[in-house]
Chain A
Amino acid sequence: MTEHSDTSMTRRGVMKGVGGLAAVSMSGAGVAEAQEILGQDVPADPHTRDTYRAIVDAIVPRTPELGEELGEEHVPGGLDVELEKFLIWDFNHFQEVRLETLQTPIETARVGGGPLGGLGDGNPLEDTLGGLTPGDEGGEDVPVVDPVLELVDGLMAPELFQLDLDTISSGSELGALADLAGLDAVGELTDLLAVEDVDEFGELLDFGAADRLAIDFADAPIPEDAEGIAEFDLLVEAGNEVTQRVIQNYPYANVFPFVFDIVAAEFLLRGENEDTPSPNPEFAGGGTFVRLSREDRLRCLWKIVDGGVIDRLDGILSPMLPAVGILKFVVMAVNGLHGFGYYTEWSGLGDTKTATPSEREMQVDPGAVQSRTQTDYPGPADGYAADWRHAVDGGFDDDWETGETPGPVDGELPDEAADDAEGVPGGEAE
């Protein structure tokens, strides 16, 4: 994984009027209506929805074969409780972007610009910082960390959070990627993708139902003195279906499926699949990714963590994400969120499952939700009756000699309650 200080510049070069997206896409939608959109559930587009459904299906599938082995309650899986909504909601509430933190920099701090000025040649701190060789006493090899990297300006380029991936205008998926990367021709993608046959990659790459993904600030262009939580205008065009929302956080959930399709196409091109891909009508809105078998979907995702994908595809993924490096964390979350969602009480929240947190309400007893019937967990309680014992008769020894007592401590605790505990049944150790 490498970091790209020039990402914003590249993307800015190909925005091609995305700044006007908000005006166009919000035409006919007044402010009040936009505010109403803000509070909506997760009306994901088919590409987003079916990509996450394919992941849920791979990790917590329906298992008819377990009906006979363990009981019928073990048959339903994550899709039966719409777990994909859990993933989408969480990823889309992952990061708040604030308007006062945005600025189009002339140069980023890392390449020597920003309010701190150039920090490369002639950096006045260089002599002080450059000579440090602070090894540890542990005798281990300790590379010197360059403290200059700590000096960042605290501003973000708006372009990091703007995107227009348009397969129709660009002619194809590859064309859309080439345009996004600021290339003149699809053929120039060969180097960027690090593939031998870009045409074959192009044949494999499919964004499913999605023709266009466009993300822009809802009030673009951003006024110089703007403050507060940024609102994003999200547009996904899928054939005749258009999903448009204004949301308060960067819509990562809608971006990741495109990344997964690209990673899946490379996965297939490199022949790393173990099963033959095939159209999957159950997830018809998805692209290349959903055509993989259940296990291949997961193998494909794992290549992001432990397969060099980020390094190989950094050039093509960088224009799509504010920071490509977070993808390893995302794969962790894709897997881990099944635990936070499916195996908790979440599905019992009924139609409040993706409401604002303070408005979520249990509609099923926490011990009776689908996954709880599969784990035989009775749900939370105020206490449990149990036989118990102490393993060390008389309590722990504490015979370490000290030469001091701690400071000016009054031996008598200020809190009467601690002392009272001794006289209360239940507060006394055996």
Chain B
Amino acid sequence: MKDPDVVVVGAGADGPVAAWKLARDHGVDVLLLEAGPFFGNEEWPEPHVDSGGTVSTDPDDLDGKLLDEQFTHREAEANDPTYGYLRVGPSNSARAPWFRNLHQNAFIWQVSCVGGTSIHYFSNHPRGYPTAFNDQPHWPDEVSYADMVPYYRLNEELTSTQQAPMTAREEVFIEGASEEMSGEYPLLDGLNVTETGWRPQPNAVEVPGKETATGEPLDSDYEGSFSYDDGFRGDTLVGDHFQGSSTPVDAPVREKARKSSNIGYVPRALDTNDNPDVGNVAIRPNTYVTDVHTAEGAGNLEATGVEIRDTWSGATQTVEADTVVLAGGCIETPRLWLNSGLPDDGWVGKGLTTHWFDWVVGVYDDETVADINPEREHMDPYVGQNSAVRFDKPGVGGLEDIGMSPGLVSFADYLFTEAGYSFDTPVDPDEPWDTRGYVVGKELKQRMADYRNTKAILVLTDDRPRQENGVSLDDTFSDEHGPVPKVRWEPHPDDDERRDELARIAANIHRNAGASHVHRSEWPPLLLHMQSSMRIGKVLDFAGEAKNVDRLFVADHSALANGVGGPNPTNSGQANALRIADHIGDRYF
């Protein structure tokens, strides 16, 4: 596509959403650029060792079996921050990842590829809390929760979002949370959450079904195939989403059960090329945008295009467009903005939120689990969707029940903390946990020996945007794209207070369910749910257009005005991208 109307920078969770909407509903030709590789596309059969094609415009380029080969389900091969296929770095895996200067005990967890960080997400699609839109001053008045709901509904329909299935692990959480069992919270049965309670996760995953296409019952006695070619459809209950997830195996890309944006939106975006009545979408991976070009307009500067660099060849090129949409995420979008020398009134890159996570671990006896699940002795954290049940407390945040494979569990449960080593870390006897901090040595091995009856509850705090948290340009390190991002996030005491409250609720849920040991990991900052570093209301107007640069929009999670109260941001980010795409169409096309 030589002459796009719109360039969208970044094909992560949100870029393909905006691209599809612009082409499908506004007749706009979109060039979607992505710095990382394109998995599951025949144009790039070996995305880590060969530069492959240049651009994909044909939905027939998508190949589900190729995706199966690339997403191996193996943990280190997927998740290792340096060599994993889901790292943030150039497609050429012989090269080091892209460096970010992080001067603290913290971890940034992102993925660079078509689909972005939604490639390893748990597919949790709750809506933001209405109170975070209507009652927090961070949101501009022009956008209310009611304005967001139609876009939530559309996004949920497109991504098959529905209530997650409850398996053995979730039943233990429900035992501890539900007032009808041993807990104290009501079941919430709606998508718009204004009260405190527990509920199944709204997940962007097709349901497992109760029988196969050949009529076999789908329950714990099922011994048949999980292959699409053998007639299996829907979710296969594998907890491997952080490895990329490509199930059912053999399924076409668009029929993989979990709707990361490469599944939920990219096929639809490419379908526009087969429809003469709408605009077109071309996707170009391996392309890093290094500069946003502008011209003097009547008032503000006006975006005119971008400078790109091929990550394999190093070749550079200018792409002109009527409108530029930044969707590189909360770190790359402000970095590109700052490296482009665009105006900064003090909030570019600032106000970053990350849900000030924590992690509270429960270890259970076999007998306890068997009492709750009479047919089983183990919770088996690798069975079921990675997170299928949650707790919500609007104004404070939420909790999620989590199951993962053991490498990820060992890191998250016992090897990521700001509290020091458990052998030196005292526990306040009034607190509902037995240990906290790093667990190492013999105790680590003992704990991991209980892996199949261990589960964690993730704390997602409603942290509020503050100017000192965020992304700036580093003044020590540069790479081929300019100064690297320098990232900083520290909690406010109010955030700490909300996090402590949620951690206590999580520990008590474990206690109510009968956990024999409760451990608080006390995480340092994990920059995973990043939001609001290019906030509407500050850097952007309510439509997502830069206040100081015309025809320049931001349509990724960085445009969110706050952390939407704590719930996972993908649904909100994508709904907002749909909303912004409509405004782009209305303003300029």
A386-430 interface code vs B (CB 8 A; 1 in, 0 out): 111111100111111111111111100111011001001111111
Say whether A138 contacts B464, CB under 8 Å: yes
Interface string of A210-233 (1 = CB under 8 A from B): 000000000000000001010000
Q: Evaluate contact between A402 and B103: CB separation under 8 angstroms.
A: no
B524 CB within 8 Å of chain A: yes
Contacts of B207 in A (CB 8 A): 390, 426-430
B89 closest partner in A (C-beta) = A96
Indicate whether A121 reaches chain B with its CB closer than 8 angstroms. no
Contact B49 A358 (CB under 8 A): yes
A170 beta carbon closer than 8 Å to chain B:
no
The smallest C-beta distance from B312 to any residue of chain A, in angstroms, reads 13
Complex contact B96–A93 (CB within 8 A): yes
Residues of chain B within 8 A of A239, CB atoms compared? none
Stretch from A27-35, A148-156, A179-187, A257-265 at the B interface: A148-156
Interface string of A61-93 (1 = CB under 8 A from B): 101011001100010010000000000011001
B167 A387 Cβ-Cβ under 8 A:
yes
Given A134-B346, A382-B226, A404:B147 Cβ within 8 A = yes
CB of A172 closer than 8 Å to a CB of B: no
A340 B163 Cβ-Cβ under 8 A = no
B479's contact among A98, A385, A398, by CB below 8 Å, is which? A98
Closest Cβ of chain B to A308, distance in Å, is 14
Q: Does A127 contact B (CB under 8 A)?
A: no
Range, interface on chain A: 35 or more
Complex: A90 Cα to B218 Cα, angstroms: 42
- Among the stretches A17-25, A279-287, A325-333, the one at the interface with B is A325-333
Q: Which of B86-101 contact A (CB under 8 A)?
A: 93-97, 99, 101
A374 in contact with B96 given A137-B138, A142-B466, A382-B236 (CB within 8 Å):
no
**Contact of B421 with A295 in the complex, beta carbons under 8 Å:** yes
Contacts of B452 in A (CB 8 A): 375-377
A425–B209 CB distance below 8 A: yes
Min CB gap B548→A, angstroms:
12
Residues of chain B within 8 A of A421, CB atoms compared: 160, 206, 233-234
Partner of B232, one of A3, A332, A340, A426: A426
C-alpha spacing A279/B346, complex, angstroms = 54
Q: Are B345 and A426 in contact (CB under 8 A)?
A: no
Tell me whether A401 and B146 are in contact (CB under 8 A): yes
Would you call B223 and A397 a contact (CB within 8 A)? no
Contacting chain A: which of B1-9, B243-251, B316-324, B392-400? Answer: B243-251
**Residues B209 and A428 in contact, CB atoms below 8 Å apart:** yes
In-complex Cβ contact of B238 among A101, A227, A333, A383 (8 A): A383
Residues on A with C-beta less than 8 A from B82 are 89-90, 93-94
**A383 to B232, Cβ gap below 8 A?**
yes
Q: Which of B95, B339, B476 contacts A322 (CB 8 A)?
A: B476
Cross-interface CB contact of B384 among A145, A345, A372, A386, cutoff 8 Å: A386
Please, which residues of chain A bring their CB within 8 A of the CB of B192?
398-400
Contact A335 B191 (CB under 8 A): no
Contact (Cβ within 8 A) B213 A424 = yes
Q: Knowing A66-B445, A399-B192 are in contact, say whether A414-B96 is a contact too (CB < 8 A).
A: no
Given A388-B167, A426-B218, decide whether A328 and B448 contact each other with a Cβ distance below 8 A: no
Complex Cα distance, B220 from A298, in Å, reads 44
Residue B149 is within 8 A (CB to CB) of chain A in the complex: yes
Contact, CB under 8 Å: B478 / A426: no
**Which residue of the partner chain, among A154, A331, A390, contacts B478 with CB atoms under 8 Å?**
A154
Distance from A149 Cβ to chain B, minimum over Cβ atoms (Å) = 6
| Any B CB within 8 A of the CB of A124 | no
Which residues in chain A, 294-336, are within 8 Å of chain B measured between CB atoms? 294-295, 298-299, 302, 305-306, 322-323, 325-326, 328-329, 331-333, 335-336
In contact, B162 and A110 (Cβ under 8 angstroms):
no
Instruction: Evaluate contact between A145 and B167: CB separation under 8 angstroms.
Output: no
Find A392's partner among B149, B199, B267 (CB 8 Å cutoff). Answer: B199
Decide yes or no whether B284 CB sits under 8 A from chain A.
no
Tell me how far the C-beta of A60 lies from the nearest C-beta in chain B, rounded to whole angstroms.
7
Decide: A418 and B160 in contact? CB cutoff 8 A: yes
Contact with B along A130-158 (1 / 0, CB 8 A): 00101011101011110101111011100
Contacts of B339 in A (CB 8 A): 154
Cα distance A142–B151 in the bound complex, in angstroms:
33
Given contacts A93-B82, A392-B189, contact A345 B76 (CB under 8 A): yes
Contact B101–A323 (Cβ < 8 Å): yes
A406 with B154, Cβ < 8 A, contacts A136-B467, A346-B76 known: yes
> Contact string, B129-162, partner A, CB cutoff 8 A, digits 1/0?
0100000111000000111011101100110101
Please give me the residue from chain B that is nearest to A421 by CB atom. Answer: B206
Contact indicator A400/B48 (Cβ below 8 Å): no
Least CB distance from A103 to B in Å reads 10
| Complex Cα spacing A137 to B351, Å | 12
Alpha-carbon distance between A399 and B275 when the two chains are bound, in angstroms: 34
Asked whether any CB of chain B lies closer than 8 Å to the CB of A16, the reply is: no
Is there contact, CB below 8 Å, between B249 and A382?
Answer: yes
* Contact A345/B445 with A386-B168, A388-B237 known, Cβ cut-off 8 Å: no
Residues of B within 8 A of A (CB-CB), count? 169
Q: Is A95 an interface residue (CB 8 A)?
A: yes
CB contacts (< 8 Å) of A358 on chain B: these are 46, 48-49, 93-94
Do residues B249 and A341 form an inter-chain contact, with CB atoms below 8 A?
no
Whether, in the assembled complex, B75 has its beta carbon less than 8 Å from a beta carbon of chain A, the answer is yes
Instruction: Check: B588 CB closer than 8 A to any chain A CB.
Output: no
Name which residue of chain B comes closest to A348, CB basis.
B74
- Which B residues are in CB contact (< 8 Å) with A430? 207, 210
| Nearest CB in chain A: distance from B470 CB, A | 8
CB distance from B131 to the nearest CB of A (A): 13
CB distance from B221 to the nearest CB of A (A): 7
Say how far B447's CB is from chain A's closest CB, in angstroms.
10
Contact between B477 and A322, CB atoms less than 8 A apart: yes
Within 8 A of A (CB), among B179-223: 187, 189-192, 199-200, 202, 206-213, 215, 218-223
Q: Which residue on A lies nearest to B227, using beta carbons? A: A382
In the bound complex, residues from chain A placing their C-beta under 8 Å from that of B213 are 424-426
Select from chain A the residue with minimum beta-carbon distance to B464.
Answer: A138
Asked if residues B247 and A382 are in contact (CB atoms below 8 Å), the reply is yes
Chain A, Cβ-Cβ closest to B200: A391
Least CB distance, B71 to chain A, in whole angstroms: 10
Contacts of B482 in A (CB 8 A): 154
CB distance from B208 to the nearest CB of A (A): 6
Identify which of B113-121, B354-362, B512-520, B577-585 touches chain A. Answer: B577-585
Task: Establish whether residues A332 and B96, one from each chain, have CB atoms under 8 Å apart when the complex forms.
Answer: no
Best-surrounded residue of A147, A227, A385, A392 (most CB of chain B within 10 A):
A385
Per-residue contact bits, chain B 270-314, to A (CB 8 Å; 1 contact, 0 not): 011001000000000000000000000000000000000000001
Asked if B383 lies at the interface with its beta carbon under 8 angstroms from chain A, I say: yes
Look across to chain B and name the residue whose beta carbon is closest to the beta carbon of A403.
B146
Residue A371 interfacial (CB < 8 Å): yes
A388-B384, A392-B163 known; A371 vs B411 contact (CB < 8 Å) = no
Q: How far is the CA of A136 from the CA of B440 in the complex (A)?
A: 42
| Residue B176 CB within 8 A of the other chain | no
* Residue in A109, A372, A375 with the greatest tally of chain B CB atoms within 10 Å: A375
Asked if A1 is at the interface of the complex by the 8 Å CB criterion, the answer is yes
Given the complex of chains A and B, what is the CA–CA distance between A343 and B447 in angstroms? 12
**B254 at interface by CB-CB < 8 Å:** yes
Closest A residue to B337 by beta carbon equals A150
Tell me if B234 and A426 are in contact (CB < 8 A).
yes
Which of the residues B46, B232, B375, B444 comes within 8 Å of A60, measured between beta carbons? B444
Alpha-carbon distance between A302 and B415 when the two chains are bound, in angstroms = 13
Ordered by A's residue number, 12 sampled pairs between the chains whose C-beta atoms are within 8 Å are A109-B475, A132-B346, A140-B494, A147-B346, A295-B423, A299-B424, A306-B420, A339-B408, A339-B416, A357-B85, A378-B382, A388-B237
Q: Which 10 A-B pairs have the closest CB atoms?
A: A339-B411, A426-B209, A383-B236, A383-B226, A380-B73, A344-B407, A407-B582, A325-B103, A137-B137, A426-B233
Inter-chain pairs besides A140-B466, A344-B405, 17 sampled, C-beta below 8 Å? A3-B475, A60-B444, A90-B82, A96-B99, A142-B467, A299-B421, A329-B102, A333-B81, A336-B415, A357-B93, A383-B238, A387-B375, A392-B187, A396-B189, A401-B146, A402-B147, A410-B25
